[in-house]
Amino acid sequence: MGIPVFLLIVFPSLFFAGIILRTKSICSGRKGPSISQPLRDIWRLFQKSAVYSETASFVFQIAPAVYFATLLLAIALIPLGGRSGLISFKGDFVFFAALLSLGKFFNIIAALDTGSSLEGMGASREALYSMLAEPAFLITMASLALMTGHYSFHGIFGALRYGSSLSLAAGALAVFVLIIICLIENSRLPIDDPATHLELTMVHEVMILDNSGFDLGLISLAGSLKFAMYGALISNIIIPHGLAWFYIIPVFLALQISLAMLVGMIESFMARFRLNHNPQYIFTLTSISLLIFLGALIISGKIN
Amino acid sequence: MTIILLIAFIISLIHLSVSKRLKTYVSVLAFQGILLFGAAFIELIRINLVNLLFILLETIVIKSIAIPYFLNYLIRRNKITRESEPYLPDFISLVIVTAIIFGSFLLSGTMYTSINRLFFMAAFSGLFTGLYFIISRKKIITHVMGFLVMENGVFALTLAAGAQMPMLVNAGILLDIFASVLLLGIFVNKIGGILKEQEAGQLRNLKD
Amino acid sequence: MLGTYFTGALVISLLLLLNRKKNWNYILSVAFLILQCILTVYEFNHQGIQELKYFTADALAVILLVISCIISVPAFWHSYIYFSKGKWLPHEQSIYFSALVILLTSLSGAYLSGHIAVTWIFVELTTFSASALVYHRRNLRTLEGTWKYLFVCTVSLTLVFIGILFLTMALQQVGLKNLSYSNLLANAPLLNTFWLKIAFLFIFTGYTCKAGLVPMYTADIDAKDKAPSPAGALFSSVLLNAGFLGIFRFYLILSHTGIFSWAGQILMISGFLSIFVASVYMYKVKNIKRMFAYSSMEHIGLIMLALACGPIGFYAAILHLVLHSFTKSSLFFQTGQVYRIYKSKSVYDTGDYFRYNLAGALVLLSGFFILSALPPSGMFISEFLILRSLFESNHYWILAVVLLLLTWIIWSMGKNIFKLLFIPAVEPQEMSMEKIPPWESLSQFILLALVVYLGLNPPFAFTELIHNAIKNLPG
């Protein structure tokens, strides 16, 4: 039941990085690499062996695998078009957030494990940004749960209707919040710059400096998977209820591709924010999600 | 539709609390003017045409075009530096403005009315956020901008109440025009001429 | 008549603005004063008639108009003396006088208006004209005072506007639309008390900037300090009355509803805090004009306390308001002379006033006694009535603390005034001191004598007017 959904989300994710790269190149006036180029890079990395430092412990060796595994498990939770994901139970969106935190936790301690101060700096920044973005995600999801009265992803997205303009506004704001969270979690502009490797500008890239070979391939693949995961969540909110499955697939793919292109365009046209102002901008998301929560309170009639 | 405009108004207040440059303040004020124009158009469509035209003209021309242009002119002419200098760091400003919005939600919950609750939320948020900006910023021109944010909040409240009383809406708009013109036109100009730095700390001589 | 008055005043003010010759200034000012007196007499004879759809002359308006008319004569005269003694650019003088005319006109409009929004508009106009009066001399300190005054008053009057909007919502709930005072008075019991409470809070807080009460008193103090003394006299008397009027009219409307005692409690809290703050500052203050400004704050605090306590209090409040206007304005006029002699407002630079200006010193001494409500001052009677009304409405603790605070205030003020009058200054510069002829203090003696007369033997028309003003209040 959930396997087609799972495959539908995972498959296009492989091309996400390629689309983003291609969009950036075209916006800069170049032709750019082909869309499957990042896939070939990952395949090349999979064929190499990893080099492990002598000062690192087993944590460093298992971290990328744990990260990738949690990500796959998280994707298994996401429904699409009225069909549930591989796993679905009540309160699974909290489980979802916890899985992502587990993966990120392993990433962070692996970065600390290498003993490099540069990676420690990146790890601390990453921890701060995730901590600030977490309430935004949970409040948004909780508001959607409040609006629809169900507690699982499948239930929430199955029952989401946009009747009044207030619910429409809440839905639009939720999409906006999720897009920005997607940018934050993947360490894209305008929070972080994945292209430069300077101390001043790195958050995520610096954490994976010491990874190589198979591990690096896993981490790059995980990056694309994360994009697809958030894209699937966003599509769930956008796609109207009751479409037949042969309409949902093209709409879903179109949404994923346009999300990737949007990310590419944001990366091309915006500069990165000053690093010590990032906490404010990330906390703004929490404020906006608070607005969604208040809107949900009004809609669900708990407070009139 | 007004709901979306009012929610955008509240979000613009959040944006205002984290922005650092004076130009951002000015553009947010212009944006709020446009939002209020839309809201006025939808809400007041039933009153007579001349009044409606006057109100719409006032929102678009004065709030979105004339005042931002004038503020930019003053910033350029008095060579005010680009940063808005707050007394509190931006993060705390953001937390406070969020708390204000939540507080205005609770406050508007105690009102028993048939008018949409969101109007009161937008009005109170605008009012108290404007007051907060007046208190927590060092420059004199940001005091005036905080007052303009308050005015926008009051305008949202006027829309809620004044659909049947166009004279009151007119009075509120006249207040807006007069106070803004006077505050901006005469005194910031003079203050720019006499005070060298644009700090409110300079205005500390009158005390016991 | 009112239309003629407004257009006439506007024309006179425009002419004053454009004109540069002294003689024309005199003629125009006298013309305005005559116009003002004609208006006062007319309104006195035509009470209760509605004019221009929004203006009605009720008893309180007539009282305040008479006060304004009486005080504006010495205001103009002392302004002329003030301007003749310094080096002034002609346009500064014309701005001052034109703003003075607009201030008095908008005050008359505010007193006479019978519609709550029209009062608000005219009080807003007084803010603008008053700031022009404060800013006539272009230096940093007056700029600061003007900016603070303009800003705080504009914000406060925005709060009043919000209060009016809430009142509108209350009216809409019962299907009414008219915001005139008579309509509100008649329909007050029908309105939702929740909206009325919020509206009262906002309107009261907003008008405290004009009345000089807690919480918005600061700008008023600075304005009275920085403006020239005749303007400061006007701020302390007629402008304060306008603030009082705004609060009183709404309080009157509330008296017909169930939340009258709640509103009285708010007035009492604000009045008590004003007296407390005034006494604390008065202890520290060294600037004579600021001292009188804080004293105004104390008196309006007493008036608010009186308004919250029963029928005797109502009568005493209005009587006290009238007497305070005359006393305070005469004291402010006198400080103008003090400043001209010593070129400074601080208590340290002044002293031994009896030697330099006998008539002025007598004014100060008797004014201090009258202000502190010693008999035979009329204010003795009004303060006694206020304290008695506090006693009769069982507010014993407040009465005790207020008496203590009043004693403290009398001591602080007396300390400064006796220092000014009797003890020589630290470094007197006798060469540069101006000789002021005693007839310049004549107006102040007249005002002080008026206070004594109105207190001891008030004319029947006067007491009748006060009774008419409070007849709508319960009890």
Mean local confidence (pLDDT), C102-121? 90
Indicate the residue type of A136: A
Q: Test A281 with B18 for CB contact under 8 angstroms.
A: yes
Classified as helix, coil or strand, A150 is: coil
Chain B residues lying within 8 Å of A173, measured CB to CB: 7
**pLDDT over 90 for what percent of chain B?**
18
HEC per residue, C8-24: HHHHHHHHHHHCCCHHH
C45: buried, middle or exposed (CB in 10 Å: 19+, 13-18, 0-12)?
exposed
Please tell me the predicted confidence (pLDDT) of residue C321: 92
Q: Hey, which residues does B83 pair with through a beta bridge?
A: B21
pLDDT, residue A95, reads 92
| B164 interfaces chain C, CB cutoff of 8 Å | yes
Average pLDDT, integer, range A66-94: 86
User: What is the three-state SS of chain C?
Assistant: CHHHHHHHHHHHHHHHHHCCCHHHHHHHHHHHHHHHHHHHHHHHHCCCCEECCCEECCHHHHHHHHHHHHHHHHHHHHHHHHHHCCCCCHHHHHHHHHHHHHHHHHHHHHHHECEHHHHHHHHHHHHHHHHHHHCCCCCHHHHHHHHHHHHHHHHHHHHHHHHHHHHHHHHHHHCCCCCEHHHHHHHHHHCCHHHHHHHHHHHHHHHHHHHCCCCCCHHHHHHHHHCCHHHHHHHHHHHHHHHHHHHHHHHHHHCCCCCHHHHHHHHHHHHHHHHHHHHHHHHHCCEHHHHHHHHHHHHHHHHHHHHCCHHHHHHHHHHHHHHHHHHHHHHHHHHHHHHHHHCCCEHHHCCCHHHHCHHHHHHHHHHHHHHCCCCCCHHHHHHHHHHHHHHHCCCHHHHHHHHHHHHHHHHHHHHHHHHHHHCCCCCCCHHHCCCCCHHHHHHHHHHHHHHHHHHHCCCHHHHHHHHHHCCCCCC
What pLDDT was estimated at residue A2?
72
Which chain B residues have a beta carbon less than 8 Å from that of C157?
175
What the block records as the tokens of A34 is 């082909």
Identify which of B90, B98, B117 has the shortest CB distance to residue A287.
B98
* Cβ of residue C193 closer than 8 Å to a chain B Cβ: no
Q: Which chains touch A (3 or more CB pairs under 8 A)?
A: B
CA distances from C224 to A274, C156, C228, C289, C333 (A): 48, 18, 8, 7, 12
Q: Cα–Cα distance between B168 and C165 in angstroms, integer?
A: 8
Chain C closest-CA separation from residue B171 CA (Å): 8
User: Can you read off the two tokens belonging to residue B50?
Assistant: 């001349």
Name chain C's partners: 3 or more CB pairs within 8 A. Answer: B
Amino acid at A193: D
In angstroms, rounded to a whole number, what is the distance separating the alpha carbons of residues B91 and B95?
Answer: 6
In this predicted structure, what is the pLDDT of residue C438? Answer: 82
Measured between beta carbons, the chain B residues lying within 8 angstroms of C281 are 208
User: C354 pLDDT exceeds 90?
Assistant: no
pLDDT at B207: 62
Cis peptide upstream of residue C215 (ω within 30 degrees of 0): yes
Structure confidence at residue B163 (pLDDT):
66
Q: Which of C122, C154, C171 to mutate to test the interface with B (most CBs of B within 10 A)?
A: C154
Whether cis (ω within 30° of 0) applies to the bond prior to C458 is no
List residues bridging with C115 in a β-sheet: C180
The yes-or-no verdict on residue C107 having pLDDT over 90 is: yes
C-alpha triplet A165, A168, A171: angle, nearest 5°: 155
> Is it the case that residue A304 has pLDDT exceeding 70?
no
Could you read off the pLDDT of A255-270 as tens digits, one per residue? 899 998 998 888 888 8
Question: Which pLDDT value is given to residue B112?
Answer: 67
Cβ proximity of A186 and A178 under 8 Å: no
Contacts of B168 in chain C (CB under 8 A): 117, 164-165, 168, 179
Confirm if C52 and C3 have CB atoms less than 8 A apart: yes
The answer on pLDDT for C106 being more than 90 is yes
- With beta carbons under 8 A apart, name residues in chain A contacting B105: 294
Q: Encoding tokens for residue B95? A: 């937390």
- Counting Cα atoms < 13 Å in the Cβ hemisphere of A91 gives 2
Query: C300 to each of A289, B157, C208, C319, how far by Cα in Å?
Result: 48, 32, 10, 12
What's the Rg (C-alpha) of chain C?
A: 21
Tell me, what amino acid is at A104?
Answer: K
Ranked by mean pLDDT, which of A164-178, C46-60, C200-214, C443-457 comes out on top?
C200-214
- Name C51's bridge partners: C55
What is the value of pTM for the model shown? 0.86
Give the span between the Cα atoms of C65 and C188, in whole angstroms: 27
pLDDT at site B164: 67
Nearest in space to C338 (alpha carbons), one of C292, C279, C395: C292
- Number of separate domains in chain B: 1
Look up residue B107 and give its two tokens: 């406050």
Of all residues in chain B, the one with the smallest CA distance to C123 is B175
Q: Residue C2 burial (CB < 10 Å; 0-12/13-18/19+)?
A: middle
CA atoms within 13 A of residue C346's CA, in its CB half-sphere = 9
pLDDT in tens, B129-164: 999 998 888 888 888 889 899 989 988 888 877 666
Asked if B14 and A287 come within 8 Å (Cβ–Cβ), the reply is yes
Of A281, C171, A294, the closest CA to residue B3 belongs to A294
> Residue C136: pLDDT above 80?
no
d(CA B25, CA B28): 5
DSSP code of residue B87: S
What percent of chain C shows pLDDT beyond 70?
99
Q: Which residue of A has its CA nearest to B96?
A: A287
Q: Confidence band (pLDDT; 50, 70, 90) for B191?
A: low
Distance in angstroms (rounded) separating the CA atoms of residues B173 and B168: 9
Query: Could you tell me the pLDDT band of residue C324, with boundaries at 50, 70 and 90?
Result: very high
Of B116 and A170, more confident: A170
Q: Give the whole-angstrom CA distance, residue A79 versus residue A64.
A: 25
- The residues, ordered by sequence, that sit 6+ positions from C276 with a Cβ below 8 Å of its Cβ are C405
C259-289 pLDDT, tens digit per residue, is 888 999 999 999 999 999 999 999 998 888 9
Structural domain boundaries, residue B161: 2-194
Mean pLDDT across chain A: 85
Is residue B68 situated within a structural domain? yes
Element (H, E) at A164: none
| Per-residue pLDDT at C281 | 92
Kindly list the distances between the CA atom of residue C340 and the CA atoms of C139, C222, C229, C378, in Å, as whole numbers in the listed order. 18, 20, 10, 30
- Reported confidence tier of residue B188, pLDDT bands at 50, 70, 90: low
Q: Chain B: nearest CA to A288, how far in angstroms?
A: 7
pLDDT at C439 over 60: yes
Question: Cβ of C174 under 8 Å from any chain B Cβ?
Answer: no
C458-465 own/partner pairs: CB under 8 Å, 24+ apart: C462/C63, C465/C59, C465/C62, C465/C63
| Most B-contacting residue of A273, A287, A288, A298 (CB-CB within 10 A), to test interface | A287
Name which of C447, C458, C466, C453 is nearest C327 in CA terms.
Answer: C447
The more confidently predicted of residues B182 and B187 is B182
Looking at residue B196, its pLDDT comes to 58
Q: What is the pLDDT of residue B50?
A: 77
Residue of A nearest to B116 (CA): A304
- C312: which 2 tokens? 């005797």
- A33-69 pLDDT, tens per residue? 888 888 898 899 999 988 888 888 888 889 999 999 9
What pLDDT was estimated at residue B88? 85
Confidence class of residue A137 from pLDDT cuts 50, 70 and 90?
A: very high
ipTM of the modeled complex: 0.89
- The residue among A131, A173, A291, A303 with the most chain B CBs within 10 A of its CB, best to mutate, is A291
Kindly report, residue by residue over B46-64, the tens digit of the pLDDT. Answer: 777 777 788 788 778 888 8
Residues of B in contact with A279 (CB under 8 A): 91
